[in-house]
Amino acid sequence: MRTEAPFSGLSDRLWRTTPFRLSALFGVTYAVGIALLLSLVYVQTATFLTARADGAVHEEAAILERAGPEAILSAFARASARDPLTRFALYAQTGERVAGDASLTPQDIPVDGVVRDVPRGRDGPARGMALRTPWGETLIVERDIRPILELRRIVLGALLLSGAVIVVLGLASAVGLSLRPLARIQAMQAASARITQGDFTTRLPVRDARDELDELARIVNRMMDEAEQLMGQARTVGEGVAHELRSPLTRLRTSLDHAAQSLPAEDPRRDLLDRCVTEADGVLARFHALLRIAALEAGGRSLSRKTIALGEILDQAAELYRPLALERGLTLEVECKEETRIEADGELLFEAISNLLDNALKFTSEGGKVRLRLVKRQGKAILEVIDSGPGIPEAERAFVTKRFYRGQRHAQIAGHGLGLSLVAAVAYLHGFVLEFDDAAPGAIVRLTISP
């Protein structure tokens, strides 16, 4: 069994936290609201300033109209002195300019009394209008709006800057609010990893914040207390059973063996007693294997991890089983192209490889071949035991690591159905991945060892 790797990067870790997502959601909602508010402020400000400029144009035109034809020229002079941003021009019915700015001409703007934008390449943008006076002359009033546009730019810049500050502060708040829960979640993840590796004394950290994380940690810790108590009771029962049964079984086996040895070789009762001794040996072997698997699965055996050379372990296992292979007429090969060192419990790994070899030799017919191979793929060490036997049907691969499981095609072959269960327990303790594949013909049992 493999534990899930921690989150890959800080951005991923932050995004996966509920405080960050909620803060980001509230921040986005708030930012949208602020954007709408700032847009409304800008539009209202721009509309107000433009209306003020248009009002000033209308007011000046009304003053000049009320002055009449006799006093309009002096009114021009007073208006220009009063408001340097406004320019004026007066044209006679014949089209000749009577007074005012020569750059203002009736051709630049329709004579309809409507205020509109008047682009001026040299002097800049303006708002102006042209109208027909009651005495028939054309009056043009134009107001420079460059100060208004500059003010609008200042307002817009201030609004954008304030919006950017709000967004940055929102993100900073989201990150700040997420870092502490993230650290607590990582501490819980580390504690959970130790629990999954068999350390049932570990508990999730509680910081007395009385929030949902503390409540969750307390619930899990209560569950772990209960589970540890139940496992302790089960372990006590198992140890009691082992203590109570191992000695009587051993004495029974010894008594049967002594009884068999006391009879002549030709006595048929001796053959019966020998078979009883063999059965007693099988019961003891099963009993020992069950206790061994239970201890491994419950984490009862602490791993003695150290740096070991996988090639040496493979050579030792092959050396142990090579005589058995020769006796059965099988070829046992070891393929190890490069030396690989890992952190593992050498004794347990040797035991697992021995069980795999024992299975492969047991189910391979005479003249067949068993290969013990160590390769590297994508930075991972892969240990494979390959035989030329009947293989493992795909439908049975999910069950072969169950205790006492025996394939229907192999019921006649001696065995207890516990070898692969022990291998699975060793793989679980080390975090290795145990897989089964088809060698066509034969089976491939694969242990993938993470770096």
Let me know: does 391 contact 441? Beta carbons within 8 Å.
Answer: yes
182 contact partners, CB below 8 Å, separation of at least 6: 13, 14, 17
Per the structure block, which two tokens stand in for 14?
A: 């932050």
List phi, psi (to 5°) of 21. Answer: -65, -45
Q: Give a three-class secondary structure readout of the chain.
A: CCCCCCCCCHHHHHHCCHHHHHHHHHHHHHHHHHHHHHHHHHHHHHHHHHHHHHHHHHHHHHHHHHHHHHHHHHHHHHHHHHCCCEEEEEECCCCCEEEECCCCCHHHCCECCCCEEECCCCCCCEEEEEEECCCCCEEEEEEECHHHHHHHHHHHHHHHHHHHHHHHHHHHHHHHHHHHHHHHHHHHHHHHHHHHCCCCCCCCCCCCCCCHHHHHHHHHHHHHHHHHHHHHHHHHHHHHHHHHHHHHHHHHHHHHHHHHHCCCCCCHHHHHHHHHHHHHHHHHHHHHHHHHHHHHHCCCCCCCCEEEEHHHHHHHHHHHHHHHHHHCCCEEEEEECCCCEEEECHHHHHHHHHHHHHHHHHHCCCCCEEEEEEEEECCEEEEEEEECCCCCCHHHCCCCCCCCCCCHHHCCCCCCCCHHHHHHHHHHHHCCEEEEEECCCCEEEEEEECC
Per the structure block, which two tokens stand in for 389?
A: 């036997």
List phi, psi (to 5°) of 331. Answer: -105, 125
Instruction: Tell me what pLDDT residue 121 has.
Output: 47
Query: What is d(CA 62, CA 139) in angstroms, rounded to the nearest whole number?
Result: 10
Q: What crossing angle do the helices spanning 346-363 and 419-430 adopt, rounded to 10°? A: 150
Instruction: Tell me what pLDDT residue 7 has.
Output: 42
Positions of the chain with pLDDT under 50: 1-8, 121, 300
- Model-level pTM greater than 0.85? no
Instruction: Tell me what pLDDT residue 19 has.
Output: 67
